[in-house]
Amino acid sequence: MDIGAVFENAILQFIGFNACYYAIAAIGLNVQFGYTGLLNFGQAAFMAAGAYGVGQTVSIFGISLWWGVAIGIGYAVFLGLLMGVPTLRLRADYLAIVTIASAEIVRLIVRSVKFRDQFGGTDGLKGFADAYQDVGVRIGLEPAGEYGFWIFTFSGRNLWNLMVGWSLVAIFGVIVWRLMKSPWGRVLKAIREDEDAVRSLGKNVYSYKMQSLVLGGVIGSFAGMMLALGNANVQPDNFSRNLTFFVLTGLVLGGVAKVTGSIIGPMMFWGLYAFLDSLLRELIDKPVRIGDFTLMQSTDVGVVVYMLMGILLVVLMVYRPQGVFGNKKEMAFEGR
Amino acid sequence: MKDADDQSAAEPAAADAPSELSEYARVAKAALAGVSPEPGAKKPDPILTASGIRRAFGGIVAVDVEHFEVQRGSITALIGPNGAGKTTFFNLMTGFDKPNTGQWAFDGVSMDGVAPHRMAARGMVRTFQLTKSLTKLPVIENMKLGATGQKGEKWWNGLFPWRWKAQEAEIEARADELLKRFKLDHMRDEYAGALSGGQRKLLEMARALMTDPTLVMLDEPMAGVNPALKQSLNQHVRGLRDLGMTVLFVEHDMDMVHDISDWVIVMAEGQVIAEGTPDDISSNPAVIDAYLGAHQGKTLLEDQV
């Protein structure tokens, strides 16, 4: 068994591309869920908005890729308003229902045959990311070249993705951190605690909730753009429920209502995933049997890893409900 | 029974009143002295007026108030048995609920259709029966939240501290002053969740004052507060009047009502059944009926006959 390779995989995933676009999505989700208390179970839809925004530019509209950023933001704002207008006046659970349904509706629309000409159907969109990759080449990163040291060696293309991705993480991390230190952030946190109290003090709660939902959604759309540009394609089934809940898992793992938690949580999620996955693959080189019954074989690893992650999350919630970076003192007042 | 009540009420008033009453209290009492003690009485200078307010939940009429006025600069108590519609009426006046019919005006301006979040800017602020302290925010943040018209509360300003830092410092100074007045300054940086029930009541009241109100509406400020703190809460409520504010409060604690209010309005079954000075009210047979039932004093047997 090569334990070195296991750790190597884990570390590379910890700082890898998956962790990076998950972190962007989690920063956005944290604005809505962590700070404002909005149960957004449709972050995947916002990510799809961003991804299809950049994807459609070259492939469908035939315009420059960079318009995609504006289009993606536009889609995300539209989606946020669409979900928020009917639900934000109601109790929190209605938003949860509407967002989870909207995310599925978005995914079914973009993969439908009917809108194939707009969204590319089940094949998705591809061949739009050249302009983005050219920038990497222009700053001296050869797509096929090898860069880095020790285990941290990446192809030029990967390195470019990581550089852009982690820069976005840093930018959005700083923006959200500063916003939450401002009086605006104070209102959001107060809304999370008690809407009516905030309303009685003269704040338009509905408007603040809308701002939070849209801002979180727009940040989420950047995660989608990053995913689309990094993979150089958009696949409708990337934006399933799993994506939303994995992002949420990462956020909870790291600790809600903390910017550090929303960044390091997804990193831990992917680091842990890679660690368990490689470890199990190393251990199960031949099927494990009890008598005639096959307990586990190498094809089961993927499923078992998710089971183990689930158990770990439950254990974490029992013994450290505030997440790894959460504020324990804050959690102490959960019961009011 | 009735006589004993009258005596105990009259004695302290005669002994303490002249020395204890502040300028504002005297003005309020003098203004209300000429008002006839009957339901829906007109006041000389009302800050809040309401007429024909009706709110039904399904078939049950929770509030059906013909006319209602609150004298500016007074402390007015709204009392009544459980289910009398006091809190519902409060919600209607503050925009948290909408009446089926009726008009009401604050400071001469109609409040029909005004959203609750616009009330604070106009000078009306309320507290809640179940204290709403924002437990996961520190006490000082709770206070600062109360200030209205904050530039930093616009998201596009949030990122640029220099646009709101000066105002924030001003607000913080005001908050610290209020915390000191309410004797919460030692808890300044603690989470509000670490406060006791009584301290939370104080915090909620102090936070409401951050909006610079002219009318403060307190929904059961004494509920769940220990007797020692009640005295200090009484003082604080009196203090609001002495700062020129008008106070309207819902309360069950009759001692407090008698102690601090200039005027008492009694509700039962959704309607205003009596009004008057505290002394008028404690001897009003309609009020005693509403609280204790019309048949008090009679035996069950008499009823059946």
Work out the mean pLDDT of chain A and round it to a whole number: 92
Asked if residue A299 is part of any domain, the answer here is: no
**Same domain, yes or no: B276 and B160:** no
The 10s digit of each residue's pLDDT in A89-135 is 888 889 999 999 999 999 999 999 999 999 999 999 999 999 999 99
Cα B141 to chain centroid distance, Å, stands at 24
From chain B residues 174-193, the ones with a CB under 8 A of any chain A CB are 191-193
**Same domain, yes or no: B223 and B258:** yes
Asked if residue A310 is part of any domain, the answer here is: no
Range of the domain at A8: 3-239
> Does the structure show a pLDDT above 90 at A206?
yes
* B166 in contact with chain A, both atoms CB, cutoff 8 A: no
Residue B115: predicted pLDDT = 86
Residue A91: predicted pLDDT = 83
The Cα A195–Cα A189 span in angstroms is 10
**Same domain, yes or no: B61 and B125:** yes
**Same domain, yes or no: B246 and B101:** yes
The Cα A281–Cα A284 span in angstroms is 5
* A328 in contact with chain B, both atoms CB, cutoff 8 A: no
CB spacing of B96 vs A329 below 8 angstroms: no
The Cα A263–Cα A248 span in angstroms is 12
Cβ contacts of A36 on chain B, cutoff 8 Å: none
The Cα B68–Cα A52 span in angstroms is 59
Nearest-by-Cβ selection for B152 from A175, A182, A336: A182
* A189 in contact with chain B, both atoms CB, cutoff 8 A: yes
Asked if residue A269 is part of any domain, the answer here is: no
B9 pLDDT band, cuts 50/70/90, is very low
Asked if residue B202 is part of any domain, the answer here is: no
**Same domain, yes or no: B34 and B85:** yes
Count of pairs with CB atoms under 8 A, one residue in A, one in B: 110
The 10s digit of each residue's pLDDT in B22-70 is 788 888 888 888 787 778 788 888 899 998 999 998 888 899 988 988 9
CB atoms within 10 A of CB B17: 12
Residue B297: predicted pLDDT = 54
Asked if residue A234 is part of any domain, the answer here is: yes
- Which amino acid is residue A36, in one-letter code? T
**Same domain, yes or no: B54 and B168:** no
Closest-CA distance, B259 to chain A, in angstroms, reads 27
| Backbone dihedral angles phi then psi of residue A159, each to the nearest 5 degrees | -60, -40
**Same domain, yes or no: B76 and B152:** no
Q: Mean of the pLDDT values across residues B183-188?
A: 91
* B162 in contact with chain A, both atoms CB, cutoff 8 A: no
CB spacing of B136 vs A330 below 8 angstroms: yes
The Cα A315–Cα A61 span in angstroms is 49
Residue in A closest to B95 by C-alpha: A200
> Does the structure show a pLDDT above 80 at B2?
no
Task: State the DSSP code for B162.
Answer: G
- Which residue, A189, A212, A262, is CA-closest to A22? A262
Residue in A closest to B93 by C-alpha: A200
Asked if residue A84 is part of any domain, the answer here is: yes
Asked if residue B186 is part of any domain, the answer here is: yes
b vs e for B244-272, b when ≥16 Cβ sit within 10 Å of the residue's Cβ?
ebbbbbbbebeebbbbbbbbbbbbbebbb
Lowest mean pLDDT among A33-37, A201-205, B9-13, B237-241: B9-13
Asked if residue A319 is part of any domain, the answer here is: no
From chain B residues 108-147, the ones with a CB under 8 A of any chain A CB are 115-121, 125-128, 132-137, 141-142, 144-146
Number of domains, chain A: 1
B302 pLDDT band, cuts 50/70/90, is low
CB spacing of B125 vs A200 below 8 angstroms: yes
Give Cβ neighbours of residue A319 (< 8 Å, ≥ 6 apart): none
Interface test with chain B among A192, A194, A201, A215, by most B beta carbons within 10 Å? A201
Residue in B closest to A180 by C-alpha: B158
For a pLDDT cut of 90, what percent of chain B falls above it? 27
Number of domains, chain B: 2
ipTM of the complex: 0.85
Reported as half-sphere exposure (CB side, CA atoms, 13 A), residue B24 has a value of 18
User: What is the value of pTM for the model shown?
Assistant: 0.89
Cβ contacts of B94 on chain A, cutoff 8 Å: 200
The 10s digit of each residue's pLDDT in A318-328 is 888 888 888 77
Q: What angle do CA B275, B281, B284 make, to 5 degrees?
A: 100
For a pLDDT cut of 90, what percent of chain A falls above it? 76
CB atoms within 10 A of CB B296: 10
* B207 in contact with chain A, both atoms CB, cutoff 8 A: yes
Residue B6: predicted pLDDT = 43
CB spacing of B191 vs A185 below 8 angstroms: no
Q: Tokens 């090569």 — which residue?
A: A2
Nearest-by-Cβ selection for A187 from B119, B145, B191: B145
More confident residue, A37 or A326: A37
More confident residue, B66 or A76: A76
Asked if residue A267 is part of any domain, the answer here is: no
The alpha carbon dihedral of A111, A114, A115, A117 has a sign of: positive
The 10s digit of each residue's pLDDT in B135-151 is 889 999 999 999 988 99
- Which residue, B248, B294, B305, is CA-closest to B268? B294
**Same domain, yes or no: B82 and B145:** no
Query: What CATH number does the domain containing B249 carry?
Result: 3.40.50.300
Residue A124: predicted pLDDT = 92
The alpha carbon dihedral of A319, A322, A327, A331 has a sign of: negative
* B76 CB burial (10 A radius; 0-12, 13-18, 19+): buried
Asked if residue B41 is part of any domain, the answer here is: yes
Q: Cβ distance B65 to B50 under 8 Å?
A: yes
Asked if residue B124 is part of any domain, the answer here is: yes
Cβ contacts of B219 on chain A, cutoff 8 Å: none
Asked if residue B223 is part of any domain, the answer here is: yes
**Same domain, yes or no: B123 and B231:** yes
CB spacing of B153 vs A183 below 8 angstroms: yes
**Same domain, yes or no: B242 and B120:** yes
Closest-CA distance, A122 to chain B, in angstroms, reads 38
Cβ contacts of B125 on chain A, cutoff 8 Å: 200-202
Q: Mean of the pLDDT values across residues B220-231?
A: 82
* B170 in contact with chain A, both atoms CB, cutoff 8 A: no
- Which amino acid is residue A105, in one-letter code? I
Asked if residue A137 is part of any domain, the answer here is: yes
Residue B292: predicted pLDDT = 63
* Tokens standing for residue A50: 């961003």
The Cα A133–Cα B92 span in angstroms is 60
Residue B169: predicted pLDDT = 94
CB spacing of B148 vs A202 below 8 angstroms: yes
> Does the structure show a pLDDT above 80 at B193?
yes
The Cα B219–Cα B207 span in angstroms is 14
CB spacing of A183 vs B159 below 8 angstroms: no
From chain B residues 50-79, the ones with a CB under 8 A of any chain A CB are none
CB atoms within 10 A of CB B120: 25
Range of the domain at B166: 134-194
- Which amino acid is residue A1, in one-letter code? M
**Same domain, yes or no: B152 and B40:** no
Asked if residue B204 is part of any domain, the answer here is: no
* B277 in contact with chain A, both atoms CB, cutoff 8 A: no
CB spacing of A201 vs B157 below 8 angstroms: no
**Same domain, yes or no: B28 and B163:** no
Interface test with chain A among B126, B132, B163, B210, by most A beta carbons within 10 Å? B132
